[in-house]
Chain A
Amino acid sequence: MFDRKKRRLPEGEPFTDEEFDVSCSGCKSVHKRSELLATGYVCPDCGRYVRVPARDRIRMLADGGSFYELDRGITSVDFLQFPGYQEKIDKAKKQTGECSAVVTGVMRVEGFPCAVFAMDSRFIMASMGSAVGEKITRLFEYATKMRLPVLGVTCSGGARMQEGAVSLMQMAKCSGAVRRHSDAGLLYIALLTDPTTGGVTASIAMEGDITLAEPRALVGFAGRRVIEQTTGSELPDNFQTAEFLQEHGFIDMVVERRELRVTVGRILRLHESAAEEAR
């Protein structure tokens, strides 16, 4: 499958100033990326949070120049010859410039080192296929070896049906890597962003020692429409929002986007002595 010894760290600058359009899932308005980077991905038209491309998410959290990417070249394969999958992969790659739906690496936040993964909803709804599963698994393995905490920024439509049961197995595979990282006494902070659903909610999103979420982010297992159809019941407006989950005891903190870096930095600092002891 892959040779760990031959693994090379990527070269080149992880962030570019290339201009592209990003649309607001709230009001559907389209904005230039540079404009959104300036507002911290807050929609200039409606004030809602715009879904942040993975690389910009890391850029917004990491101390300048501290991010070092891992496993950039891992990409999906249409191994089941699933109708339309290869076209979807090609299109997503072209539109996002990414090889997969997750960016992984190491960075510093407020001076504190941590491993990071950020999922990218523009890439086939950041569904979790083999490429995503492999990258997240490798990241937790790397963090375990290097004794680093992990910050995981989730957003996902769930499992990637185009990869059949193999996609489902990525949930167990990633959970195994999270478990080993945890058993090594290391910290995992999950940051749930809009939308985090299905198989990702039922695995990596809900396995953090500390679970943060962005305001109003949709977080759930089953789809709202599916529930409404199968049960015929009407659901409250706040159903499956971050606030709803916090109310029901599944989220530690709902954190405004502009407060994320400081909050993550503070949590990392509070765990620093534990990390040193473990060393």
Chain B
Amino acid sequence: MTAYEKLKTVRAPERTHGGEYVKALFSDRVEFCGDRRFAEDPSIISGIGYLGDIAVTYIAIDKGEDLQDRIRKHFGCPMPEGYRKALRLMKQAEKFHRPVVCLVDTMGAFCGADGEERGQGQAIAENLFEMMGLKTPIVSVIIGEGGSGGALALAAADRVYMLENAVYSVISPDGCASILWRDAGRAHAAADCLHITAEDMVELGVAEGIISEHEGDFDRMCADMKTILSTELGKLSRLPTEKLLDARYERFRRIGVFEEDRTK
């Protein structure tokens, strides 16, 4: 599949959405709602539950089941209150020494006047700032679309995994094509230019690994996810807090390609 075909695959309404992964991965769940500031954002499903025998906090972006549900969840584009709810649960996880698992699937943060009025940028910035210092392990999986800052706000993590067909991008290929060539129809070419596939993410050092989708065998894929998540959370939980935070800092610190002329 080309990068653009992958994007279309993960954008398709029949693609498994966040809530279904939550049900498959976590048992004995208790769901939590609201940001305690303004509202409940149903585009983010969050709570606590067991991943195997580890109690975790889960935070998942959900695009919705049917059209009505999708509209209610603004097609999986979280509002500022969604990010603030996620942050509230992360701080709670820190307090109770629970690791955090984030499942990311969004075109991007919600784009609208009310989002701007309530500080969409500030909400994402605060998540990044807090996640970079959160004293508990965070593992994120991009399960579909990793759309720009709205995805990163749940992926400033110790480990990031990509599902086989998932994509991660700084801008939607359609938007990129409009800017580059004033032609959204060339999104296919833009998707290649942007390097958005799971393989690209591993190569660029943005993700640690790829989880096979086993040609649509959901149970097998979830079994793999469980194994990987449990193993990594186990390793991360054994690290002293300071080491954990240093490693998270270094994980992002080393990303970047530039040249340096020391004579200047």
A263 at the interface (CB under 8 A from B): no
Q: Which residue of B lies closest to A201 (CB)?
A: B121
Inter-chain contact B113/A73, CB cutoff 8 Å: no
- When distances are taken between beta carbons in the complex, the residues of chain A under 8 Å from B260 are 2, 71, 73-75
| Bound form: Cα–Cα A98–B256 in Å | 19
Contact of A83 among B118, B193, B204 (CB under 8 A): B193
Q: A74-B259, A84-B180, A161-B176 are in contact. Are A205 and B152 (CB under 8 A)?
A: no
A180 is an interface residue with CB less than 8 A from chain B: yes
Contact of A164 with B122 at beta-carbon distance under 8 Å, contacts A76-B258, A169-B252 already known: no
Whole-angstrom distance from the CB of A170 to the nearest CB of chain B? 7
A152 contacts the other chain (CB 8 A):
no
Q: Does any Cβ of A come within 8 Å of B33's Cβ?
A: no
B264→A99 contact, CB < 8 A: yes
Q: Which of A80, A83, A160 contacts B195 (CB 8 A)?
A: A80
Give residues 174-191 of B contacting A (CB, 8 Å).
176, 179-180
Distance between B181 CB and nearest chain A CB, rounded to angstroms: 9
Binds A, one of B24-32, B88-96, B97-105, B124-132: B124-132
Q: Are B253 and A165 in contact (CB under 8 A)?
A: no
User: Which of the segments B64-72, B163-171, B210-218, B225-233 contacts the partner chain?
Assistant: B163-171
B116: Cβ under 8 A from any A Cβ: yes
* Contact flags B70-84 to A (C-beta < 8 A → 1, else 0): 000000000000000
CB atoms of B128 and A175 under 8 A apart: yes
Contact B116 A227 (CB under 8 A): yes
Q: Are B119 and A248 in contact (CB under 8 A)?
A: yes
Given the complex, which residues of B lie within 8 Å of A233, measured CB to CB? 113
Judge whether A139 is part of the interface by a CB distance below 8 angstroms: no
Residues in A with CB closer than 8 Å to B171 are: 159, 161
What's the nearest-Cβ distance from chain A to residue B180, in Å? 7
A133 touches B125 (CB 8 A): no
CB contact under 8 A between A165 and B168, given known A84-B180, A130-B258, A248-B117: yes
Contact of A165 with B254 at beta-carbon distance under 8 Å, contacts A99-B261, A172-B156, A230-B112 already known: no
Q: A221 with B132: in contact, given A161-B170, A169-B206, A227-B112 (CB under 8 Å)? A: no
Nearest Cβ on chain B to A244's Cβ, whole angstroms: 8
| Bound form: Cα–Cα A169–B248 in Å | 13
Report the minimum CB–CB distance from B188 to chain A (whole Å).
Answer: 14
User: Of residues B122, B128, B156, B258, which shows the largest number of chain A Cβ atoms within 10 Å of its Cβ?
Assistant: B258
Q: Is A183 an interface residue when CB atoms closer than 8 A count as contact? A: yes
Q: A216 vs B122: C-alpha distance in the bound complex, in angstroms? A: 19
Q: Tell me the count of chain B residues lying within 8 A, CB to CB, of chain A.
A: 57
Which residues from chain A contact B115 at a C-beta distance below 8 Å?
221-222
For the complex, is B46 an interface residue (Cβ under 8 Å from A)? no
Say whether A77 contacts B112, CB under 8 Å: no
Specify which chain A residues have a CB less than 8 angstroms from the CB of B116 in the assembled complex. 220-222, 227, 239-240
Q: Do B180 and A165 have beta carbons less than 8 Å apart? A: no
| Nearest B-chain residue to A175, judged by Cβ | B128
A231, CB-defined interface residue at 8 Å: yes
Count residues of A near B (Cβ-Cβ below 8 Å): 70
Contact assessment for B125 and A165 in the assembled complex, using a CB-CB cutoff below 8 Å? no
Q: Does A202 contact B (CB under 8 A)?
A: yes
B171 to chain A, nearest CB (A): 5
User: By the criterion CB–CB under 8 Å, are A176 and B204 in contact?
Assistant: no
> With a CB–CB cut-off of 8 A, which chain B residues contact A198?
121, 149
- Tell whether, in the assembled complex, residue B256 and residue A170 are in contact, meaning their CB atoms are under 8 Å apart: yes
B198 CB, min distance to chain A CBs, angstroms: 11
Q: A161-B194, A166-B204 are in contact. Are A173 and B256 (CB under 8 A)?
A: yes
Separation of A82 and B171 alpha carbons in the complex (Å): 14
Is B257 in contact with chain A by the CB < 8 A criterion?
yes
Q: Is the CB of B195 within 8 A of A164?
A: yes
Flag whether A257 is at the interface (Cβ < 8 A).
no
Does A202 contact B133, Cβ atoms closer than 8 Å?
no
Residues 48-85 of chain A: 1 if any B CB is under 8 Å from the residue's CB, otherwise 0?
00000000000000000000000111111101101110
Pair B169/A164 contact, Cβ less than 8 Å: yes
Question: In the complex the two chains form, is B125's CB within 8 Å of A166's CB?
Answer: no
Q: Which of B169, B170, B206 has the most CB of A within 10 A?
A: B170
Inter-chain contacts of B113 with A (CB < 8 A) = 227, 231, 233, 235, 239
A176 engages B253 (CB within 8 Å): yes
Q: List 12 A-B contacts (CB under 8 A).
A: A75-B259, A77-B259, A80-B195, A82-B193, A131-B258, A159-B149, A165-B200, A169-B252, A173-B256, A176-B249, A204-B125, A206-B119
Mark B residues whose CB is within 8 Å of A: 109, 111-113, 115-122, 124-126, 128-133, 146, 148-149, 152-153, 156, 168-171, 176, 179-180, 193-196, 200-201, 204, 206, 248-249, 252-264
Report the 8 A-B pairs with minimum CB-CB distance, sorted nearest first.
Answer: A201-B121, A73-B264, A73-B261, A130-B256, A221-B121, A206-B125, A175-B128, A202-B124
